[in-house]
Amino acid sequence: MGKILIFEHTSVLGYKMKRILEQNGFQNVELIKDYNRTNLNQSQPGQRPDCVIVDLDNRKQDMIQLIRKIKKETYDAPVISISGASDLSTLKKAIGAGCREFVLKPFESETLVSKVYKVYYEGQRVTDNNESFKMGEFFKGNAISLKWSDDFAIGIEQIDSEHKQIFEHFNRLYSMMREGHGHEYYQELLGFLADYVNTHFEHEEEYQLSVSFQEYQKHKEHHDKFRERIKEIMESHTDQDISDNDLISISLFIKDWLIHHILLEDMKLKEIVKFV
């Protein structure tokens, strides 16, 4: 599996991130503490890192300049910045320098892993078309599965049971993929998701309106993005020829949904339910 560079001046955090990624199937992770190292440009375009992680919190270095250097010398490898500061101007500059994703400290292992999978897989789609990214490699190590826990319950029976359903579908796909298959399940899964983005999202939106949820509009925009993405996936698969990459792509999409939408956004409803 691909190469990941971590620019982290703090050993503790650097080794922690390296370990997390290795435990999740990334076997080629290099930690770089010397930011002035100049041999990044020795790679050929085909050998560029698949992802570069940069810790922005280093006052001794111009980190924006470092991101520019990395982008230039790694043939535009995707960069993920991590930061403990919510300093918007720095984050904007990092985006301007070419940073693709952010992880805010303190972060959970799953947040880091899902961001790396996301940029890694997006890169594979662009450069490899489909052949070199195999499920066996994807699941080497301990790629994370996500089990439902009552901690995820919001307290609205219908919505909780619908959330459980998507966890179940994800885990079913995950266990099939671990065994090297799941292609035969793809269409059924897409059918479920297409239905889910209508019924489940509608249930949530109706509830939010009924309690005048302040973030309704923002939440609905997230839902609309999922609806749009599912529509795109449906439209791009009229045939039965399901590749490993299709399975990996849909599994990453659902995992991102579970982690970032259900566990972060939908959980905001839990606070409201307590007072209704």
CB of 163 to Fe ion, least distance (A): 6
DSSP one-letter code for 106: S
Cβ atoms 68, 98 nearer than 8 A: yes
- DSSP sequence for 120-165: HHHHHHHHHTTTT--HHHHTSS--------GGG--S-HHHHHHHHH
Measure CA 170 to chain center.
15
* Alpha carbon distance 125, 119 (integer Å): 10
CB of 201 to Fe ion, least distance (A): 6
Q: Is 266 in the site for Fe ion (CB under 5 A)?
A: yes
CB of 108 to Fe ion, least distance (A): 19
Is 50 or 204 the residue whose CB approaches Fe ion more closely? 204
Closest residue to Fe ion using C-beta atoms? 266
Residues with Cβ within 8 Å of 234's Cβ and at least 6 positions away in sequence, in order, are 190, 194
Is 20 or 197 the residue whose CB approaches Fe ion more closely? 197
Is 8 or 204 the residue whose CB approaches Fe ion more closely? 204
Q: Is 170 in the site for Fe ion (CB under 5 A)?
A: no
Q: Which residues within the stretch 173-232 sit at the binding site for Fe ion (CB under 5 A)?
A: 204
CB of 143 to Fe ion, least distance (A): 23
Among 18-26, 45-53, 148-156, 266-274, the segment contacting Fe ion (CB under 5 A): 266-274
CB of 224 to Fe ion, least distance (A): 11
Q: Is 156 in the site for Fe ion (CB under 5 A)?
A: no
Residues with Cβ within 8 Å of 212's Cβ and at least 6 positions away in sequence, in order, are none
Where does this chain bind Fe ion (CB under 5 A)? 204, 266
